[in-house]
Structure 1
Amino acid sequence: MSTVRPRGSAADTGSDFARLTQRITEAGLLQRRPGYYTVRLGLVTGLLAAGWTTFVVLGDTWWQLAVAAVMAVLFGQVALVAHDLAHRQVFRRRRPSEIWGRLFGNLGIGMSYGWWMNKHTRHHANPNHEELDPDVAPDILVWSTEQARNSSGLARLIGGHQALLFFPLLTLEGFNLHVSSVRALRSPYMKNRLLEGSLLLLHLAAYLSALFLVLPPGKAVAFLALHQCLFGVYLGCTFAPNHKGMPTFTGDERPDFLRRQVLTSRNVHGGRLTDLMLGGLNYQIEHHLFPAMPTPHLRRAQVVVRAYCAEIGVPYHETGLLQSYREALAHMHRVGEPIRRQRRAT
């Protein structure tokens, strides 16, 4: 999809978000939901503990692969809780958000809270900006035809057929999350390296000890592979619909905050099950406009935001879950054309 151009002057568009914020505030949608998060954090913690208890009780059996699949979903739910904590949806203050974020992230699933916070903050500030958003930086995949033309190494090798390879590559995302978390410990932006590293090490030691003490080596490796692969696929399927295939920016292209967030985001409609499995990220437009808004308010906020965007003439994109994947994959195939064309020429 081609890049989009800013609309309106800063003075004109700057007030659009202020008026929307006033409506959202008057509706009470920015208020904290301590009861909801007490129940949610308690349920996720309890289910994770129940999953590991089931693993120990079952012992040496190939039925553990079913446990691995369930645990992949539970790890994904823990990651979504860590996401909400990082955005201060749960606690207004930074310190309790960091404490619980590291407990759920570093200790719970082996994901560095500090690494993810740095990466995700940059994404929120400049979504789909090819030079500023780390989520669309050309690495293994390319996200624009210009990136495809300039690609090299693994990105060039994969880029021509990246749409076909996207879901298989997601099986590596769980492993990549752990590796990136450890590598980030050496980064200058990382705070509390000792704490972050200690919690990551404790998670790894407990995880591997549990697997190889309860299961023989072959089954332990099978459990680890299936668990981490499905965890990566679940995370990828949760985040892929949000921005992939939506307009991108380059250089000095930087519309006002409201348009920057709305134009680059895609909502996914569905029922309560969709809300649960995607952790509220299916309301990506509302989440990007109001990152600290508690998850249970996003559904109500959608009605306000969608109507307001229609009122001021800002495109608001929403689709079903399967269609969101089709759009993302179609975009990935389209931007890989320069690589395919060059290969045909040679």
Structure 2
Amino acid sequence: MKSPSPGRSSAVRSMRSAPFFTPIRVVFSFAGPSARRPLSFFSPTIRPSAWRGRPWKALRLVPLLSQNFKAEVVAVLMLILFFSWCYCSYVLGCWRLNIALSWFWWRHLDAGLHAVMHGDFRTRHDIQAGLFWIYSLLSHRAMEYYYGARELKGNGMSKHWWHHIYPNDPGRDPDWSTMTGVAWVRRHTSAQWHPCHQWQCWYWLPVSMFLEPLFELIQVACALLEAVASLLEPPMNGPYVSRWAHVLGFLCEVLFNPGFQLVAFGVQPFWKALGVLLLARATSRLLLYPFSEVQHYMPEHILNREAADDSAEWVIGQLLCTANLEFRNRWAWLMDFLMFHGDSHQIEHHLWPAMSFVQYTKASQVVRATCARLRLPYYTVGYFEGYQKICEQVKEHRKPPPRPKRPRSPGEEPSPSESSSTRTRRRTRGS
């Protein structure tokens, strides 16, 4: 298997050579160690222990890169279709088309940036840089998750790399942040329990579909105003070029991204555009739950994460902590492929983070056969089975957690129940 170059990735080299990439390059400054080797960090060259031994011989033969322009052709065609959909939905006001396909394009834009970040579209450097530029504008807020905060200037690892190292680890996987702390819907013991959670079986779906998306819209509006206000700050708080690039990138996402659709508010009546946007986001949350939740938040894999300690074989650790979303319909598989990087192939993606998404089908066949031969786990979850798991988690964690027993102080008399149980144990011991 060909491993990526240990030097700078082709993505970064092409970005620095592209003249139209200057504003985004200034904002995110891909000059740190994590940016220099985003593709080789998990490669067999860097982690030789991950692929040693004869059992992994079949896995080492799986090709990483696409042999032709298949991935690039799919990306360009999908972007043409996306802007055509934007014109019909935002300008012409086809609200049914907007609600029916917003979830698809919203997921596609994020997955496209994810694919470029992992080094896809490497057949030509200029095409790769151009696709990165487009996706980074249409999903501007996701750049911090994939590349790290722009204040760090590329130093350290991004949250997404931490997710790859510690999948389904509540203490170290950043994707678990929405499952912890204070939340409307409690689905894990790491989240605080409140009296309202005993009713969450009744309200979890309406809250997830309408209340949380509306709260996110308000947060994004405030963040955009803060970005614009940062232009008025003195020069010692950062270069103006970086601030302008951040504002323009933020504005591009809010204008065209299906999650915000600001263009529609300038063409259509305000209340109609707002109603369609809320319904589109509610439909997106309803249909994308198994994609966004089941694969990244699987509490039953926590024990597997604890069993796969740092000394365990890296490949086995990834197999224990990831699962594929299984599609039994060809149309569903095609939809998943067009939404990019085959979001159903989480196992293969975690074994080969630098693999092109057009190779996942071939890689999954090899991994399945290898796991069956070595009797290793290969977890798959159906679409509706994923919803069933979510409902079970909501039902299970609606109850308050058991209170820890208070240690008895010296000289304190035992409770009646405790004293009776003590007498029973004494009689049993004496007999």
| Normalised TM-score (structure 1) | 0.74
- SS of 1:31's partner is coil
Aligned partner of 1:161 in structure 2 is: 200
* Equivalent position to 1:272, from 321, 330, 354: 330
1:17 CA displacement: 6.2
Cα distance between partner residues in 2 of 1:36 and 1:116: 24
Cα distance between partner residues in 1 of 2:394 and 2:277: 30
- SS of 2:334's partner is helix
Letter in 2 for 1:315: P
* Residues 1:39 and 2:89 aligned together: no
1:71 CA displacement: 3.1
Aligned partner of 1:339 in structure 2 is: 400
Q: Rg bigger for which structure?
A: 2
* Residues 1:23 and 2:58 aligned together: yes
- SS of 2:301's partner is coil
Cα–Cα, structure 1 residues 78 and 293, in superposed 2: closer, same or farther, change >3 Å?
A: same
Root-mean-square deviation (CA), in Å? 3.9
Letter in 2 for 1:288: H
1:234-277 Cα shifts (integer Å, max 9, x gaps): 44332223143341146994443212211111222224333333
Aligned partner of 2:82 in structure 1 is: 48
* Residues 1:241 and 2:294 aligned together: yes
1:305 CA displacement: 0.9
Aligned partner of 1:291 in structure 2 is: 353
Cα distance between partner residues in 2 of 1:240 and 1:96: 32
1:131 CA displacement: 0.9
Letter in 1 for 2:76: G
Cα–Cα, structure 1 residues 64 and 15, in superposed 2: closer, same or farther, change >3 Å?
A: closer
1:132 CA displacement: 0.5
Alignment of 1:55-134 (within 5 A): 55=89, 58-59=92-93, 63-91=94-122, 100-105=131-136, 107-109=137-139, 111-117=141-147, 118-134=158-174
* Residues 1:213 and 2:275 aligned together: no
Letter in 2 for 1:292: A
- SS of 1:276's partner is helix
Aligned partner of 1:10 in structure 2 is: none
Cα–Cα, structure 1 residues 176 and 38, in superposed 2: closer, same or farther, change >3 Å?
A: same
The answer for unaligned runs of 5 or more in structure 1 is 1-12, 187-191
1:89-131 Cα shifts (integer Å, max 9, x gaps): 22389997676345224x3255432334433222111001111
Cα–Cα, structure 1 residues 232 and 64, in superposed 2: closer, same or farther, change >3 Å?
A: same
Letter in 2 for 1:329: C
Cα–Cα, structure 1 residues 324 and 205, in superposed 2: closer, same or farther, change >3 Å?
A: closer
Aligned residues of 1:48 and 1:71 also touching (Cα < 8 A): no
The range that moved more, 48-57 or 167-176, is 167-176
Number of positions where the alignment pairs a residue of Structure 1 with one of Structure 2 = 314
Aligned residues of 2:103 and 2:284 also touching (Cα < 8 A): yes
Cα distance between partner residues in 2 of 1:110 and 1:144: 30
Cα distance between partner residues in 2 of 1:81 and 1:273: 20
- SS of 1:268's partner is strand
Letter in 1 for 2:66: R
Cα distance between partner residues in 1 of 2:385 and 2:172: 27
The range that moved more, 120-129 or 193-202, is 193-202
| Normalised TM-score (structure 2) | 0.61
Aligned residues of 1:82 and 1:101 also touching (Cα < 8 A): yes
Letter in 1 for 2:59: I
Higher relative contact order (CA 8 A, sep 6+): 1
Alignment of 1:137-216 (within 5 A): 137=177, 138-139=180-181, 140=183, 142=186, 144-145=188-189, 147-148=190-191, 151=192, 157-158=196-197, 161=200, 165=204, 168-171=207-210, 172=212, 176=216, 179=219, 182=223, 195-205=245-255, 210-216=263-269
Aligned partner of 2:319 in structure 1 is: 262
The range that moved more, 50-59 or 244-253, is 244-253
Aligned residues of 1:266 and 1:319 also touching (Cα < 8 A): yes
Aligned residues of 2:326 and 2:381 also touching (Cα < 8 A): yes
Letter in 2 for 1:261: Q
Aligned residues of 1:239 and 1:281 also touching (Cα < 8 A): no
- SS of 1:112's partner is helix
Cα–Cα, structure 1 residues 92 and 173, in superposed 2: closer, same or farther, change >3 Å?
A: farther
Aligned partner of 1:308 in structure 2 is: 370
The answer for unaligned runs of 5 or more in structure 2 is 1-47, 148-157, 231-241, 404-431
